[in-house]
Amino acid sequence: MPDFEPGAEQYEDKADVAAYLAGDRMALDRLVVRHKDRVFNLCCRLLGDRGDAEECAQETFVKVLRSIGGFRRESSFSTWLFTIAINTCKNRRSSAEYRFWKKVLSFGRNASSCEDDPEEFEIQDEAPSALVLISEKERESLIQSAIDSLPFDFRTVIVLRHIEELSYDEIARITGYNLGTLKSKLSRARVQLQKKLQGA
Amino acid sequence: MECSQARKIIYEIAGTEADIPIQLRDEFKKHLAVCSSCAAHYHALISRLEDLRELPRLNAPANFLENVRRRIENPGIVARARNSFFRFFGEISFYRLAATAAAAVLVVVTAQIALKEAHLQKEVSAPLPLPSPAMSPPPAPTESFQNLTSDAPQPAPPLQGESSVPKAGSVPKELRTSAAPQRAKQGAGNISQYNSAPGRASPPANAYPASGEEEEQRKTIRLNLRVPRDSYSLLGKSTAPAMMDKAKEPSAVAGTSLAEKSLARPGLDKEYAKREDRVEIDSADRAMSEVKSLVLLSKGKITSEQPVEDAEKKASISVEIPAQNYAAFLDQLRRFGEVTIPGESTGAAAPQAGMHIRVLILFDTGS
């Protein structure tokens, strides 16, 4: 669970941002290493594709580098980073290139889904049986498909709330919605998600 | 709490019980305890949301940091162009851009105006061609004549239906003696130089060696000089196309009676009918000598002269008359014929003091 409350990680972020602005090139590497998995996971859940998620996650950090001088530190670095990541994914989804390849590759859609990490297919002795693993993969694939079927704003609030487990305040800060709008969107997103997963 | 009320808040409460008011949450739980349908619906939703929470965390690829470094150090062409664009225009404020654009527009407009004025000045100061004295006079197959143009800004008005007049400031005044129709056919003289083609006005071949300032001090007017049906007479001829065409008509030749001419051009013959101090000239030489004496008496000067060699050739003379003596010069010239100025009933222009009137007189010794 990401730590959006003031804590050790947030202090480290602020220190690294200040160090990078002072000329420490390694500070950016530390920021990337600290947040890359969280950003990648968010992008993958929002886009539903590992390749696109990696592309958007990299683009997110490039944008952070370009605009880190304008970081006002009114919010935490994580909140700012998530805002950039969500906007990058949104732009990616609306791009013509993304829509084109989405249609072209729709036939083999599951071949590159987020749940197709080959590392997760490694079966060890202590692991559950192959049947259980396949069942879990199917369940995850169904859930991801249901998320992908949601409108992007609904998807965003669902992912931030129920996968990233952020608070309402943090989600409102990231998305820019006020609290009432956020709760309304979240409620309608749950209704649609429930309908999608009704038969699963 | 009713089922309808519970169904309304079930999606708001699910997974966010901590954010729900305690009283509302207690009522909702009491309803779930008594309503199995709502309870099943609620637990199914909670289960789905738990599935979301249990989705595995996906880790970034191992070379993620290297890829980010590479993208930062080697941005793509589009990214470089975008960065250059924003770097260039980001440093220039809007007001500087607007001021630069306004200055560029101002420079272009000023240059266009300057070029236009220079072109107009070049046209005004261009030397005026003058017919060569060595060349024979043009044909003059009409008893009515007029010439020419004015240096004034407005061109002289058309005469007797003329639709076209020479360009203002480009053609000097000229006078010409009357001629027989056969002489008009022979004419390769000055008028023909003025008009390369019948019916078309063009500047004289030779240029006045006058500067731009001298041009301003001179005034060219159009004259109509009509003489009686004598053996030798003075006539002026217009270089205007319509009049040139008319001059070639058989009815306009010397020898036609004044009554006939008056029928053709009644407006021009009224003054002629009233004149009584007419001097009849019996030769072109005498006419030229009279005109030269008149020029000298008027304190003018003769700029060029083409004397009469034989009866078959035409004579011409170019003179400049001071403006203050020009009226008297015209009065004396009327003794040899009729002088009219197109567009002016008085027959004389109103030149300013210090100016010179340039006049070209052509003598046509008809048989």
For residue B318, pLDDT beyond 60: yes
**Cβ separation A54–B44 shorter than 8 A:** no
Burial A46-78 (b: 16+ CB within 10 A, else e): bbbbbebbbbbbbbbbbebbeebeebeeebbbb
Closest-CA residue of B relative to A26 is B69
Contact A37 B61 (CB under 8 A): no
- Residues on A contacting B at a C-beta cutoff of 8 Å: 29, 32-33, 36-37, 39-41, 44-45, 50, 53-54, 57-59, 61-62, 65-66, 114-115, 117, 120, 139-140, 143-144, 147, 158, 161-163, 165, 168, 183, 186-188, 190-191, 193-194, 197
Distance CA B193, CA B22 (A): 115
CB contact under 8 A, A190 and B19: no
For testing the chain A interface, which of B47, B57, B68 should be mutated: the one with the most A CBs within 10 Å? Answer: B68
Q: From B66, which residue of chain A is nearest by alpha-carbon distance?
A: A29
User: In this structure, are residues B357 and B320 in contact, taking their beta carbons and an 8 Å threshold?
Assistant: yes
Q: Average pLDDT over chain B, rounded to whole?
A: 61
* Percent with pLDDT over 70 in chain B: 40
So what's the pLDDT on residue B234? 41
Mean pLDDT of B36-47: 84
3-state secondary structure of A64: helix
Cα distance from A51 to chain B (closest Cα, Å)? 10
Q: Give the list of residues 6+ apart from residue B223 with CB closer than 8 angstroms, or none.
A: B145, B146, B147, B148, B173, B175, B236, B330, B339, B340, B341, B359
Give contacts of B13 with chain A, Cβ < 8 Å: none
- Which residue from B minimizes the CA distance to A63? B72
Interhelix angle A130-148/A179-196, rounded to 10 degrees, is 130
CATH match of A8-196 with 1.10.3720.10: no
- The model's pLDDT over B194-211, given as tens digits with 9 standing for 90+, comes to 333 333 333 343 334 444
| Radius of gyration for chain A, computed over Cα atoms and rounded to the nearest angstrom | 18
Compute the Cα dihedral for B273, B275, B280, B285 and give only its sign: negative
pLDDT for res B106:
94
Helices (H), chain A: 8-21, 25-47, 50-67, 77-94, 96-104, 130-148, 152-158, 168-175, 179-196
Flag whether pLDDT at B183 surpasses 80.
Answer: no
Q: What is the pLDDT of residues A155-194, one digit of tens each?
A: 999 999 888 888 888 899 899 998 888 888 988 898 888 8
Give the one of B56, B59, B68 whose C-beta lies nearest to A32's C-beta. B68
Is the Cβ pair A162, B58 closer than 8 Å? Answer: no
Query: Contacts of residue A44 in chain B, CB cutoff 8 Å?
Result: 58
Kindly indicate the confidence band of residue B292, based on its pLDDT and cuts at 50, 70 and 90.
confident
Calculate the average pLDDT of chain A: 79
Choose the weakest-confidence range: A69-78, A180-189, B141-150, B286-295.
B141-150
Give the chain A residue nearest B15 (alpha carbons).
Answer: A162
Domain residues of chain A, as ranges? 8-196
Tell if the CB–CB gap between B60 and A36 is shorter than 8 Å.
yes
- From residue A97, alpha-carbon distances to A92, A100, A150 in Å are 8, 5, 20
Mean pLDDT by runs of 10 across the 200 residues of chain A is 58 85 85 90 89 89 84 81 91 72 59 48 50 71 87 91 88 89 88 79
Question: pLDDT tens across B246-264, in order?
Answer: 333 443 334 443 434 434 4
Asked if the interface predicted TM-score (ipTM) of this complex is over 0.90, the answer is no
Q: What does the pLDDT read at residue B313?
A: 56
What is the pLDDT, as a whole number, of residue B104? 94
Give B 276-305 residues with CB within 8 A of chain A: none
B70-111: per-residue pLDDT in tens? 888 877 676 667 666 666 665 566 777 788 899 999 999 999
Q: Is B58's CB within 8 Å of A36's CB?
A: no
Strands B301-306 and B356-363: unpaired
Across residues B321-334, what is the average pLDDT? 80
Which chain A residues are closer than 8 Å to B64 by Cβ? 32, 36, 40, 54, 57-58
Whether residue B175 contacts residue B226, with contact meaning beta carbons closer than 8 Å, is answered with no
